[in-house]
Amino acid sequence: MKIICIGYNYKEHVKETKAVMPAEPLFFLKPETSLILNNRPFFYPDFSNNIHYEVEILLRICKVGKNIQEKFANSYFKEIGIGIDITARDLQEECIKKGLPWEKCKSFEGSAPVSDFIKKDEFKNIYDINFHLNINGKTVQKGNTNDLIFSFEKIISHVSKFMTLKIGDIIFTGTPFGIGPLKLGDKIEAFIEGNKMLGCMVK
């Protein structure tokens, strides 16, 4: 399986990073080895001094597809989850400055804690999902899928032009405003509609 991540998909987040508003979905990949499942801990790597959290709504792909038209894209995911796109911000700033790819700062071991998934039919409207992130019990990021720049269907259609989507692939759909640093001992908790979906300790 592969993990596809969308960058700059919430306006307020684009502003906070001083990035340019994207004309099309920007995406990058994380390998399977970046996954953290079952609330296992994240181990702070020694190659960075500025590891950041980015809470994001996830889609799980349920059938194989390529060149998927936007109007059919809805049938390619049945489940929604939440995850953290853990980012080595210091390395990312260096990559951006030098015009280098992002794997070093985004795709390292354990950079993708992922929750269990909920059937999307359980949501009244998948474009009105509230989600938030707590660090040590304090809310640091809050989002609503109504604020997405590119819809889930647009993302699926766009990415599938370039690579085949397979069953079990996970899409990170972008982070809202409020990114910030993690430190040793932090307790990460991610919520969908007030229900805790994910817990992860920084060790």
Contact track, Mg ion, 114-153, x by CB under 5 A = ----------------------------------------
Using CB under 5 A, count the residues that bind Mg ion. 3
In this complex, which beta carbon is closest to Mg ion, that of residue 52 or of residue 65?
Answer: 52
In this complex, which beta carbon is closest to Mg ion, that of residue 100 or of residue 167?
Answer: 100
Helix (H) or strand (E) holding 104: helix 103-106
In this complex, which beta carbon is closest to Mg ion, that of residue 157 or of residue 175?
Answer: 175
Tell which residue, 24, 65, 14, 48, has the closest CA to residue 202. Answer: 48
Q: Measuring CA to CA, how many Å separate 186 from each of 109, 115, 139, 152, 176? A: 18, 18, 13, 31, 20
What residues contact residue 109 under an 8 Å CB cut-off, 6+ apart? 33, 34, 43, 45
Among 85, 153, 169, 189, binds Mg ion (CB under 5 A): 85
What residues contact residue 79 under an 8 Å CB cut-off, 6+ apart? 59, 60, 62, 117, 118, 119, 120
Please, what is the minimum distance in Å from the beta carbon of residue 55 to Mg ion?
9
- Give the CB-nearest residue to Mg ion: 85
Token look-up 């502003």 returns: 15
Interaction between residue 8 and Mg ion (CB under 5 A): no
In this complex, which beta carbon is closest to Mg ion, that of residue 85 or of residue 153?
Answer: 85
Where along the sequence are the contacts to Mg ion (CB under 5 A)?
54, 85, 175
